[in-house]
A and B are shown apart, each in its own frame.
Chain A
């Protein structure tokens, strides 16, 4: 069960401002039923003062999505559109006394609906659907672009892939894009890709590849295997696929498959290139 604050529970059980505003002059929509959450925000804005006189919502989603929507309407009521434009997802979460990390995307959804509604006001009140920032789609499961990831990382000072998933859902489906998210984080945070050599392994000539692998095996890997009575030899390199043969005690060891992946491959990735795959030579 989620550890929801009292305030989240209260806004879920007794959501404020549910429903629509028939004469709304700003309507923002975000999400869809397929994704698992969706929010439609209605605002009544005073045309002279640009103050938000009333705000209502309709939400499809879990308890924290409903609570975040309710909080959003309470936060923006009485603000001018200019003030509302500065509302962040963190403000929505703070209003609720915090959200579980895994649910932060609910507050992001609230902020996006608000952005769309403000655009809608500028477009004469015609409903505006939030659109993902243009750019390369990183997470194909949830259609999250690189721009959105960068924006959310910057605004919320995120540091890990798990953070990015919690706030944007990116990486929360099949998980294939997690490496790419890490690269975006590395780029933004100025991390160096972990101890990789200046030139990518895949771009080295064959002779240099063999040298690099042989040296890594001899220095970092063979001594460990030797401790268990095993040894290892390089058989072939095809692109980033390194074929090796485990010998000695390793050959009859039932966990040699595990050794290969969890030790040899991990070590070579660390030392040479994260793209390396290690296989047992036939």
Chain B
């Protein structure tokens, strides 16, 4: 079967007519750059004071709606967090900003670990030197009376 040029032209136009709206649609529904669950665990419900993924207050639903709206606009997670800070302030971030008194949230655990590690490194060798492991004393061995000693010898003789 051979196709006429006219039929080929009609086919080409039909394919183009199908392809153009499909391409436009795919451009409009671009893949979101993040998801609600990905953002939720990094921000707080500003009213309830808990992470948004755990919050059930009506305000939490409003925040989720706002985040979903920003996701639908194609914003990345970082851009969304920036928008949320502009709306609700720094309190909306689950990780406190590293400034002012908030620095303590990062610094104190770090100093504690370093301090305890240093103390252990200094004190443990000293403690071990002071309390060396004691060898088992000879008088720890139970003393057998003659009858028990004889029975033990007889038992051992059976296995020889």
A complexed with B:
no
Residues in chain A within 8 A of chain B (CB atoms) = none
Residues in chain B within 8 A of chain A (CB atoms) = none
